[in-house]
Structure 1
Amino acid sequence: MIILRMLLGRVLSLVPLVLGVTLFVFIVMRFSPVDPAVAALGDTNPTDAQLEQFRRDNGLLDPWPIQYGRFVWQLLHGDFGVSVITKQSVGDTIATALPLTVQLTLMGLVIAIVLGLLFGITSALYRDRWPDQLIRVVSLAGIAAPAFWIALLLVQWLAVGEGLFPTSGYISPQDSFSGWLNSMTLPAIALAGPVTAQLTRIIRTSMVEELDRDYVRTARGGGLSPVVVVGRNVLRNALVTPLTVLGLRVGYLLGGAVVIETMFALPGMGQNMIQAVTDGDTSKVQGFVITIALIFVLVNLIVDILYVIANPRLRSHS
């Protein structure tokens, strides 16, 4: 019941946040210098009368409050509108592109979590010794290195130099799982690089703080194995703080996927969004941005729930 009550409170608190996101996106797109009428009819050399008729037919001349109300009403019914360029449903385009972006984000997240745990725990257990010093230097460099730069190095080294991976392109897992894994490995590693470095440092700091607590010294003094102490108590308590940061890092992964997908020619949300911006397709841009924002909000809701589950003190005060 405590978890359900907390979940209900979190969901209700997200309602104004989601509305704020939709309002922000709506206002930004309305201040865009791109005229949807010109973008849709530009290739036909339209007259002023034709542009005016297009704006009237598509409700672009209605007052902003009416346009926003219609926009929210359509979103509530799962309608993201129609592309002014291709005349196709934006929802259908999102449904086609989103799975690839989710695949890339999840692969990057798994890599970041596994490597972050491995390096962070190792660094804490060997505090101030050479493994710790090496991991700290490498993680600091990883934080400073942007994902696109890591991607360029990986392509130059493993794709062009060694020929182990393709430089670009995408293969569906339904067509070939090994081909899919091969085409997604370099983008996922590049995307996970900075997040791995950040998680490593955060996990190391949390682990060091827990290892210095009195209960650890008492447990070791009582004859418990260090493996038992670290695995049963220290690790669980130390992961509470990294768990809260992880939700924000998922948002970074989603944003970074926009650039990485473009670099590796992956037909996901990122590449479609860049193309929509280039074409002046405001409906698509609007739909893509809102979708990514809603996913970010949902992920942070899940992280909040996991945080409460992992922290008994919060459950007792919920």
Structure 2
Amino acid sequence: MLAIARILARRIALLVPLLLGIVLFVFVIMRFSDSDPASAYFQGANPTPEQLHRFRLDNGLLDPLPLRYVHFVGDLLRGDMGISVLNRAPVTQQVATALPLTLQLTLLGLVIAVVLALLLGVTAAIHRDRAADQIIRVVSLTGVAAPGFWLALLMIQYLAVNAGWFPSGGYINPADSFTGWLETMTLPAFSLSLPIAAQLTRIVRTAVVEELDKDYVRTAIGSGLPPVVVVGRNVLRNALINPLTVLGLRVGYLLGGAVVTETIFALPGMGKLMIDAVKNGDPAVVQGVVLTTAVGFVIVNLVIDILYLLVNPRLRSAAR
């Protein structure tokens, strides 16, 4: 445990410059945007040049860029992402309202992707080159090639509109009705997770096949241990390293794909918040959503690093 604590402390220390770099990147990119907060603030009001100048002066938009960056970082450390120029509400408050739904969608999609990948990948590896393996490989290849938004539209058409099994959009809070929440989240979560599940299935199959061909597996089975025990206790533990690596990278796809998925299914999450902000020229909200998503991606990858250490003790020894 002490070794894990030391490694974890080093990883967290490396996050500080990484997060500062992300903040700097987002800050610079947004400053080169065509969006003008002053014009957006007075949208439809025909402001005078003096009013625009006063707004920019009061909000520090005329300060030198380095000074604006220092103020920006200081505001972030206090939890202040700025004020929306359209509805005058704090961006932090809007993000805090939309983020739970996006996290629900992302986590549910992640669970579905992992469960499907493990079931299909291990089944394909155990029945290597037989009918089950061939079918799973074709299905997974199709899933990799199918865009998530196309799957979402197909699900709406056939499972929501034609069959009427699920609603075609909208959101119900789980505190109001867990069954209603599950019904509204099932199609979005599956459309978001299936391409990732297809990729992970192929990787899990390859990793498990490589482990099954090793001497320790044949020795364990030859000594009388049931194959189910050998696969569940030894093979999976050693084969999960590569899938975990890919999973950590694909979480970014889940977070980014949630933008499109939430728009298609009319879910009031981070995706809808950012799309509305882009359409309405509200750079503070866009900036807040991008920063929150980037920080979430970094945190998830830190969690994946911790899982590496738990799954493979050899990594702990190598990292000391």
Asked if these proteins are the same fold (TM beyond 0.5), I'd say: yes
Query: Counterpart of 1:160?
Result: 161
Query: Counterpart of 1:189?
Result: 190
Superimposed CA distance per residue, residues 187-246 of structure 1 (whole angstroms, 9 cap, x where no aligned partner): 000000111001101100100000011111122222222112111111111112211221
Query: Partner amino acid for 1:287?
Result: G
1:239 correspondence with 2:246: no
Maintained 8 Å contact 2:237/2:312: no
5+ residue gaps, structure 1, are none
Query: Counterpart of 2:227?
Result: 226
CA drift of 1:52 comes to 1.1
CA drift of 1:117 comes to 0.4
Query: Partner amino acid for 2:170?
Result: G
CA drift of 1:247 comes to 1.2
Query: Partner amino acid for 2:101?
Result: L
Maintained 8 Å contact 2:100/2:269: yes
Query: Partner amino acid for 2:142?
Result: A
Supply the distance in 1 between the matched residues of 2:163 and 2:227 (Cα, whole angstroms): 42
Query: Counterpart of 1:254?
Result: 255
The 3-state SS of whatever aligns with 2:173 is coil
Maintained 8 Å contact 2:56/2:62: yes
1:129 correspondence with 2:130: yes
Supply the distance in 2 between the matched residues of 1:226 and 1:88 (Cα, whole angstroms): 59
Maintained 8 Å contact 2:8/2:306: yes
1:3 correspondence with 2:8: no
Query: Counterpart of 1:176?
Result: 177
Query: Partner amino acid for 2:137?
Result: R
Supply the distance in 2 between the matched residues of 1:22 and 1:120 (Cα, whole angstroms): 38
TM-score under structure 1 length normalisation = 0.98
TM-score under structure 2 length normalisation = 0.98
Query: Counterpart of 2:45?
Result: 44
Supply the distance in 1 between the matched residues of 2:271 and 2:140 (Cα, whole angstroms): 27
CA drift of 1:313 comes to 0.6
Query: Counterpart of 1:76?
Result: 77
Supply the distance in 1 between the matched residues of 2:63 and 2:148 (Cα, whole angstroms): 42
1:144 correspondence with 2:141: no
Maintained 8 Å contact 2:207/2:239: yes
Query: Counterpart of 1:276?
Result: 277
CA drift of 1:14 comes to 1.0
Supply the distance in 2 between the matched residues of 1:232 and 1:106 (Cα, whole angstroms): 26
Supply the distance in 2 between the matched residues of 1:85 and 1:121 (Cα, whole angstroms): 51
Query: Counterpart of 1:18?
Result: 19
Supply the distance in 2 between the matched residues of 1:299 and 1:35 (Cα, whole angstroms): 33
Supply the distance in 1 between the matched residues of 2:246 and 2:230 (Cα, whole angstroms): 24
Query: Counterpart of 1:106?
Result: 107
The 3-state SS of whatever aligns with 1:42 is coil
Supply the distance in 2 between the matched residues of 1:134 and 1:26 (Cα, whole angstroms): 48
Supply the distance in 1 between the matched residues of 2:162 and 2:146 (Cα, whole angstroms): 21
CA drift of 1:286 comes to 0.4
Query: Partner amino acid for 1:46?
Result: P
Query: Partner amino acid for 1:60?
Result: L
CA drift of 1:112 comes to 0.4
Query: Partner amino acid for 2:200?
Result: L
Taking only the aligned residue pairs, the percentage that are identical comes to 64
Supply the distance in 1 between the matched residues of 2:229 and 2:191 (Cα, whole angstroms): 35
CA drift of 1:42 comes to 2.4
Query: Partner amino acid for 1:269?
Result: M
Supply the distance in 2 between the matched residues of 1:188 and 1:64 (Cα, whole angstroms): 41
The 3-state SS of whatever aligns with 2:43 is helix
Query: Counterpart of 1:61?
Result: 62
Give aligned pairs, total.
318
1:202 correspondence with 2:197: no
